[in-house]
Amino acid sequence: MYKRLSAVLFPVVTILLIGAAYWGYQEHQEKNSILLKAENQYQRAFHDLSYHVKQLHQQLGNTLAVNSTSQAYHRKGLVNVWRLTSEAQNEINQLPLTLLPFNKAEDFLSRIANFAYKTSVRDLSKQPLSKDEFQTLKTLYAKSEEISNDLLGVQDKVLGQNLRWMDVEVALASEKSNNDNMIIDGFKTVDKKVSEYPEINWGPSVTSMYEKRKISMLSGNFVTADEVKKKVAEFVGKSKGEIKVVENGKGTEFASYTATVSEPTSGRKLQMDYSQKGGQLISFMDPRDIGEKRLDLDKASAAADKFLNDHGFKDMKAVSYDLFHNTGTFTFVGSQNDVLIYPDKLVVKVALDNGEAVGLQANDYVYEHHNRNIPAAKLTKEQARKSLNPEMKVSKERQALIRNDIGEEVLCYEYTGKINGSVYRVYINAENGLEESIEEMS
């Protein structure tokens, strides 16, 4: 009996063992294939990064080598610098460096890209490179050579010693590892050198991109938590006893207050943020459940406009909207002398069941709103309109103050119209007739 049983089971067990071994071999092969593909992608990204940083250094040198009056070549060179820097940033993002401190080098490349872009998009025939900008280019030329040489040094080690990027990923992911790896050490060296560079004059347009909004930028006196309670009570019509105020970032340049209003019956909580300096409302949120839609677009827009007027946001004009489920989100900008002030922007969210405002985001408005000295337009709207595509069917035109690509506020004519089956807003500079911005309307 045992012989008959073993005679049956032995072939079955043998087949199962062979199957398990084959399955394990297949899994091992697939795993190796995936690892090899990932390694190849990492190697390609790294060698492309080394190449593009080297090309970046050469392009900066070429831009500096031509005559200082060669505006056409300066533009071409700066466009190439922007392209190469963007390529390098993309390749960094493909490498397993998320756990490695390489942020200083990434920030440096980002600033080079923005400097090159913002300098190249302006009319260099009217506003050529300044002495300060040439000096910045010389500094970038020297520093990019250092970074390039360090990356080429890492590249030599990778090629000479057959180093694997998968080992870098494992080393970074392992909490117990001391990250003793030649590639990791090489990138740390690059980042450390970049962090020690002296301050570079990037110019106001680039510097402003990296400036964080601080309370020192605001006007008015500092307010206390008790004063914020009073403001909240006026805003929502509740007694002070139902309001809780918490200070955020105490003693820092980003200090603010968060106020919470608890409804005793429903338990729902309203939340508001106020600036510590000036006591201005930054945001408001009412997380209540919203019923079925009963209001149309016009009534919802009117409700948002009334909400802003009731709470001190005067002369605001709705410029766009988005209806989603049972809410309407309206973007408003400031208005001064019939000119739309786009930097003074805020967003109001309205419940479409009863027209209540259930959200406000006014961060841009708080930091940007002030009375401006708006220059008179040098071109008439008819003259500016000649810069439009003749096929565009214009339905609305008005003046607007916007920020251009280099961060400057410029007076424009805003034309809304239809072309190619879509609706666009085109902003024509009211001084020189150039197209400053184009956006497609949803």
Band of residue 254 on the pLDDT scale cut at 50, 70, 90 = confident
The helices-and-strands tally (H runs, E runs) of the chain is 11, 12
Q: For residue 46, is pLDDT > 90? A: no
* Higher per-residue confidence, 63 vs 214: 63
Mean pLDDT (the chain, rounded): 84
The rounded radius of gyration (Å) of the Cα atoms in the chain is: 30
Region 115-122 average pLDDT: 88
Region 66-87 average pLDDT: 90
Region 297-314 average pLDDT: 92
The pLDDT tens digits for 272-300 are 999 988 889 999 999 888 888 888 889 99
Half-sphere exposure of residue 331, counting CA atoms within 13 Å on the CB side? 12
The pLDDT tens digits for 333-358 are 999 999 999 999 999 999 998 999 99
pLDDT of residue 169: 67
Band of residue 17 on the pLDDT scale cut at 50, 70, 90 = low
Most confident of 7-16, 33-42, 233-242, 384-393: 384-393
Band of residue 7 on the pLDDT scale cut at 50, 70, 90 = low
Phi-psi label, residue 433: left if phi above 0, alpha if psi -120 to 50, beta otherwise: left
Own/partner long-range contacts of 174-183 (Cβ < 8 Å, ≥24 apart): 182/154, 182/157, 182/158, 183/154, 183/157, 183/158
Band of residue 14 on the pLDDT scale cut at 50, 70, 90 = low
Q: Name the CA dihedral angle for 101, 105, 106, 112, rounded to a multiple of 10 degrees.
A: 170
Q: For residue 78, is pLDDT > 60? A: yes
CB 427 within 8 A of CB 438: yes
| Contact residues for 343 (Cβ-Cβ < 8 A; gap 6+) | 334, 364, 368, 401, 402, 403, 409
